[in-house]
Amino acid sequence: MDYFIQQLINGITLGGLYALIALGYTMVYGVIQLINFAHGEIFATGGYVGVILLSFFTGLGYMETHPILCLAAAFVLTMGYCAFFAVGVEKVAYKPLRKQSRLAALLSALGMSIFLSNGLMLTQGVYDKAYPGELFQGGVDFGNITIGYLQMMIVGMTIFLLFGLNILVFKTKIGMAMRATAQDKVMSSLVSISSNRIISLTFAIGAGLAAAAGIMVGLYYGSVRYDMGFLPGIKAFAAAVLGGIGNITGAMLGGLIIGMVEIFGAGYISGQYKDVFAFIILISVLYFKPTGIMGENIDDTRV
């Protein structure tokens, strides 16, 4: 039972990270029906910007005197940078093809993913970059169960971001405009909602969440790599499909399920096949329930 609870804690931690990345996929698809395959590279970019900022603060000596303040600044600056970066990607790769076929936009997304991945390789190198190792050392022991301080930070930060996103989407005028644009772009434009601004905002919000996940993954595993966005991106996409692509709550639930399945599969079956379980779930969902667990139809009740 102790081993089960420990794996459960690990699964919640990893699932929360997948949920943050999956939200970018599901939000963009909900608004413009596009799978942004470059989203994984935005996540990797966030990891690199985070390690650059934290290393800079370490060199100045601020990490020793004000570690929490430095970490908060790294999160805010990284999320802001990746938000603007994603808006630029949207303007270059997706906006010119918005009135073209979905296949053209899909090919553009794949091309942008390869371009950004190679850009990270050329600018940051092929070797791993290590995160500062002195952050959040240790944890709390409950018998044979250990909850690390870093795990607490990741879960707490994830809950805070998910809760904030829910308030933004379902309790504010901006969220109503996003849902209206997703439902009917023509009708929403008739009530003075700029679909271009809403689409850019959607890309920015999803990229900010992915950037936060990139920092937390770097802290959790100790380093980042230029191609780190590929597998987590695919797993997050599987999580979005599992929960119901276009459904925010479904993406959160799907991320937790994917994280749980990966951790329990690695713990009880084999760690060599941990990356296979997400693809098994993806294929199974597409075969048995293509709309996902919480998939919904776009109707008049959505807004």
Q: What is the DSSP letter of 100?
A: S
**Residues in contact with 78: Cβ distance below 8 Å, sequence separation at least 6, in sequence order:** 46, 49, 50, 53, 211, 212, 214, 215
* Dist. CA 82–CA 54, nearest whole Å: 16
* Distance, CA of 202 to CA of 197 (rounded, Å): 9
Other beta carbons within 10 angstroms of residue 101's beta carbon come to 9
CB 144 within 8 A of CB 151: no
- Amino acid 133: pLDDT: 65
Rg (CA), the chain: 19
pLDDT recorded at residue 296 = 54
User: How far is it, in rounded angstroms, from Cα 45 to Cα 80?
Assistant: 12
Query: Is residue 94 helix, strand or coil?
Result: helix
CA distance 247 to 294: 7
Residue 12 to residue 24: CA distance in whole angstroms: 19
**pLDDT on residue 140:** 78
Phi, psi angles (nearest 5°) of residue 238: -60, -40
pTM for this prediction: 0.88
Token output for 65 = 């005197």
Mind listing the pLDDT tens digit of every residue in the chain (303 residues)? 778 888 888 888 888 899 999 988 888 888 888 888 889 999 999 999 999 999 888 888 887 888 889 889 999 999 999 999 999 999 988 888 887 887 888 889 899 999 999 999 998 888 888 887 667 777 777 777 778 788 888 888 888 998 898 898 888 888 888 888 888 888 888 888 888 888 889 999 999 999 999 999 998 888 898 888 888 888 888 888 888 887 888 888 888 988 888 888 877 877 777 778 778 887 888 788 777 777 654 444 444
- pLDDT of amino acid 295: 66
d(CA 125, CA 111): 20
Question: Which residue carries 């600044």 as its tokens?
Answer: 73
Residue 298's pLDDT is: 45
Secondary structure element (H or E) that encloses residue 148, with its range: strand 145-148
Sign of CA pseudo-dihedral 27, 51, 76, 193: negative
CA-to-CA separations, 205 to 20, 92, 127, in angstroms, rounded: 11, 18, 29
Number of Cβ within 10 Å of residue 251's Cβ equals: 34
